[in-house]
């Protein structure tokens, strides 16, 4: 029996990737679990269009930790997942993108294991891959980008020293995808230059990849400090594979592009 042919089991927690926000980019397994689960606990970045796939009788709870709402702790989330499973419900823990990429899934897995709660992980399309598709841009390139690096500009709250984005030299044949870059482009530019990246390396900031409000801006590393990026959720992609976004450009001239998704993508 394949995973897709199984039903959502009572007493089990499913850590499910919601992808970048377009319901068409969910896996079949994710869509099926959303239609079957008794309860769904989701992050802030999961939009209503995805939640619309949840069964009418299911309980949907946001456990997002941003936007000024009273903060739920990570331990609070573990408790909700475990108690719902112990109550005999089928539980979906819905995370944006892929659940195993920058999503604190490790802590949730450890808590579920410690409580003896069965769980399953359902992958999703991570933001970096959605961004590449949305920009129509391969993230690797046979001549210029043989490595793909996913890293984050956001650090654990309990870290006393703020580590640089990258310690030591960065390979010059890599595409670096920076999740949660924050708004401090001058710090990012400084740290990437300190890691050995050349001033003319292309950078692209994409906001709301694969969403109707998607926008992107691009420039060279030495102009990053002046780049006005779109709203969060935002990704910064850096590397020679981004060159086509700046074709015909000079080092200090911004290329600005806004694109709407193909006709037929609708927001309900």
Q: Does 233 bind ligand SAM (CB under 6 A)?
A: yes
From 123-131, 139-147, 216-224, 252-260, give the range in contact with ligand SAM by CB under 6 A.
123-131
Known catalytic membership, residue 180: yes
Q: Spell out, one character per residue from 21 to 60, where the chain touches ligand SAM: x when CB under 6 A holds, - when not.
A: x-----------------------x---------------
Q: Which of 26, 47, 98, 135 binds ligand SAM (CB under 6 A)?
A: 98
From 34-42, 65-73, 193-201, 230-238, give the range in contact with ligand SAM by CB under 6 A.
230-238
Q: Which of 81, 234, 238, 242 binds ligand SAM (CB under 6 A)?
A: 234
Burial environment of residue 143 by CB neighbours within 10 A (0 to 12, 13 to 18, 19 or more): exposed
Structure tokens at 162: 């703020």
* Least Å from the CB of residue 105 to ligand SAM: 8
Q: Spell out, one character per residue from 192 to 211, where the chain touches ligand SAM: x when CB under 6 A holds, - when not.
A: --------------x-xxxx
**Nearest Cα residue to 72 out of 120, 104, 48, 33:** 104
Burial environment of residue 11 by CB neighbours within 10 A (0 to 12, 13 to 18, 19 or more): middle
User: Distance between CA atoms of 133 and 19, rounded to whole angstroms?
Assistant: 13
User: Distance between CA atoms of 257 and 268, rounded to whole angstroms?
Assistant: 25
From 46-54, 98-106, 186-194, 239-247, give the range in contact with ligand SAM by CB under 6 A.
98-106
* Least Å from the CB of residue 250 to ligand SAM: 27
* Least Å from the CB of residue 208 to ligand SAM: 5
Active-site hit among 38, 141, 147, 180: 180
* Least Å from the CB of residue 23 to ligand SAM: 13
Known catalytic membership, residue 43: yes
Q: Which residues are catalytic?
A: 43, 65, 180
Residues that bind ligand SAM (CB under 6 A): 20-21, 45, 95-98, 101-103, 126-127, 130, 179-180, 206, 208-211, 232-235
């Amino acid at each position: 029996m394949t995973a897709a042919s199984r039903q959502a089991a009572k007493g089990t927690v499913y850590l499910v990737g919601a992808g970048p926000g377009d319901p068409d980019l969910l896996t079949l397994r994710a869509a099926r679990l959303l239609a079957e689960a008794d309860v769904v606990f989701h992050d802030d970045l999961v939009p209503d269009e995805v939640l619309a796939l949840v069964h009418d009788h299911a309980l949907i709870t946001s456990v997002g930790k941003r936007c000024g709402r009273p903060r739920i702790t990570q331990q609070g989330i573990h408790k909700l997942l475990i108690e719902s499973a112990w109550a005999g419900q089928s539980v979906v823990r819905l995370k944006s993108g892929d659940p195993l990429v920058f999503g604190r899934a490790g802590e949730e897995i450890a808590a579920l294991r410690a409580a003896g709660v069965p769980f399953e992980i359902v992958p999703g399309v991570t933001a970096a891959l959605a961004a590449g598709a949305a920009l129509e841009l391969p993230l690797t390139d046979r001549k210029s980008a043989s490595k793909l690096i996913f890293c984050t500009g956001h650090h654990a709250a309990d870290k006393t020293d703020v580590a640089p984005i990258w310690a030591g030299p960065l390979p010059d044949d890599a595409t670096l995808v920076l999740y949660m870059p924050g708004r401090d482009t001058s710090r990012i530019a400084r740290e990437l230059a300190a890691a050995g990246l050349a001033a003319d390396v292309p950078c692209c900031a994409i906001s709301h990849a694969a969403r109707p409000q998607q926008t992107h801006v691009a420039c060279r590393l030495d102009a990053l400090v002046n780049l006005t990026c779109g709203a969060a959720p935002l990704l910064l992609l850096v590397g020679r594979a981004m060159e086509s976004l700046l074709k015909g450009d000079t080092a200090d001239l911004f290329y600005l592009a806004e694109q709407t998704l193909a006709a037929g993508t609708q927001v309900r």
